[in-house]
Structure 1
Amino acid sequence: MALQEEFEKQGNWLFTYRSFLPIIILLIGTVFYLRTELYPETFFLEETPYEIYFERLCLFISLFGLVIRIYTVGHTSANTSGRNTTEQIADSINTTGIYSLVRHPLYLGNFFMWLGIALLCGNIWFVIIFCLFYWVYYERIMFAEEQFLRKKFGENYIEWSEKTPAFIPNLKFKNFVKPGLQFSWKKVLKKEKNGLAAVFLIFAFFDVIGELIERHTHFDYFLILVCIATFFLYLILKYLKKHTNILNESGR
């Protein structure tokens, strides 16, 4: 099998099972986080007044990634950017909005969401391993997606891809093209409720286990309250999505 076909085959397989990647990262990250809490001397900010600021920075990075996803999803039409796992789907090419700056903004958003969590673990080697693993993993997926789009849309796709970087955005905003669709909060609430709840749940989880290991009760109650609020919001949105048409929007 030629390398190109092998990359595409691997990418399609990884695309199908990409929802398991967060579980792997979380499990490994938890081990490193526990190690940092048990051996605070391994992380220079552990048990210092600056630790809380570092944790807030990590949360900000994760939320920044979520904002990228929200902006991306909010301006896309149906059957383009989504969470489908069975096969590649694309009724059209997204070329406006953030897609005029980067070809894979959702994966860019995912990277920042998980980078914040990786940094929170307080181990530089885990951060480096995460970055390398993420790149190898998603490089295959991006390759497979682009092969699919190239075959389906031909020259239209090639023309757009030649002037738009794959992963690192083109920050020359003179190339920015206004989104073709208005922002849809309904689509965002329907599609991104998982990410919002997951970010605060993971950060609250790490905060609680960290305090318990140190035999402290200085819990971050603000973080815990936001975690509870986003969890209930997730349940409400999940119910609305399953049992009503409130979040449905034609063409989105």
Structure 2
Amino acid sequence: MALVEEFERTGSWLFRWRSYLPFVFLPLIVTAVLRYPVIESHPNLHFVWSIVSLGVSLIGLAVRCHAVGHAADGTSGRNTKTQVAETLNTSGFYSVVRHPMYLGNFLIALGIVLHSAAPWLVVVYLMAFALYYERIMFTEEAFLREKFGRVFSDWSARTPAFVPRLRQWKSAELPLDIPKVIRAESAAVAVIALTFPALELAMHAAQHGNVAMEKSWYILLGSGILLYIIARVMKRQLRRWLKYERILYEAAK
């Protein structure tokens, strides 16, 4: 099998399971938190580091929300079985980086890894992410090149794959679709809202022998859960509305 075909085959497999494979990394995070909770014993440093790490994850979430909210329908979705792209997004974050969704994923996970305060884990994460997403991005771009041809080639020639080139920012062509953002990114919000408090509880338990965390983490946890519930309700209502619309359409034939 040619190397290009091997890249596409493995990239397609990773693309299908991209939402679940990162959980394989959780045991390393737990190990880092339980074995190296030194930063927990320095309150001021721990507070600053918590703000930095959470901020990195929130920046990643913001990138994803902007990319999803301004993307055309039929693109930037959570499809897993096949590649889908009705149009080629080239404005907004797509004007400065070809894979803003994966950039957002990178930052969200990086913030979580940074929160563990284990340098070795950051190194492992950077290496794993590069190997993991390289194949996925290769496969996606092969699909886009075949579907959009010269348009994709011109866009990819001027737009970096992963490191944003902010000086060539072009405002999004479509307005921000807030309901779409809430529906699409509720899972990412839940990951942040659950993971950071969980790490805080684990670090405090490892350092002090009891389970506790500051009130701000409870607020984050509650807000994330509330937003996730709202998003689930919105998704359910949307499915019902679409089903009702199909029934009316069939009846009108």
Same fold per superposition (TM over 0.5): yes
Which structure carries more helix by proportion? Answer: 2
Residue in structure 2 matched with residue 200 of structure 1 by the alignment: 193
Q: Over the residues paired in the alignment, what is the CA RMSD in angstroms?
A: 1.7
Matches of residues 150-189 of structure 1 in structure 2 within 5 Å?
150-172=145-167, 175-189=168-182
- How far apart, in 2, do the equivalents of 1:6 and 1:61 lie? 34
Q: Are positions 1:13 and 2:8 aligned together? A: no
- How far apart, in 2, do the equivalents of 1:106 and 1:24 lie? 20
Displacement after TM superposition at 1:208 (Å): 1.4
Contact kept in structure 1, 2:202 and 2:211, CA below 8 Å? no
- How far apart, in 2, do the equivalents of 1:54 and 1:131 lie? 19
Q: Are positions 1:130 and 2:133 aligned together? A: no
Deviates more, 1:215-224 or 1:17-26: 215-224
- How far apart, in 2, do the equivalents of 1:244 and 1:72 lie? 21
Displacement after TM superposition at 1:46 (Å): 4.0
User: SS where residue 31 of structure 1 aligns?
Assistant: helix
Match of 2:205 among 189, 197, 212: 212
1:46-88 deviation per Cα after TM superposition (whole angstroms, max 9, x unaligned): 4113111111111011111001101111100111111111110
Contact kept in structure 2, 1:88 and 1:148, CA below 8 Å? yes
Displacement after TM superposition at 1:104 (Å): 0.2
State the percentage of identical aligned residues. Answer: 38
Residue in structure 1 matched with residue 217 of structure 2 by the alignment: 223
Match of 2:144 among 146, 149, 152: 149
Amino acid at match of 1:180: E
TM-score (norm 2): 0.90
Amino acid at match of 2:78: R
Unaligned runs of 5+ in 2: 243-253
- How far apart, in 2, do the equivalents of 1:166 and 1:190 lie? 26
Contact kept in structure 2, 1:64 and 1:109, CA below 8 Å? yes
Residue in structure 2 matched with residue 240 of structure 1 by the alignment: 234
Residue in structure 2 matched with residue 92 of structure 1 by the alignment: 87
Unaligned runs of 5+ in 1: none
TM-score (norm 1): 0.90
Match of 1:52 among 47, 67, 70: 47
- How far apart, in 2, do the equivalents of 1:115 and 1:247 lie? 38
Distance 1:108 1:246, change over 3 A: farther
1:186-243 deviation per Cα after TM superposition (whole angstroms, max 9, x unaligned): 1101100111121021001111122223225651111112212220221122022113
- How far apart, in 1, do the equivalents of 2:169 and 2:25 lie? 33
Displacement after TM superposition at 1:171 (Å): 2.3
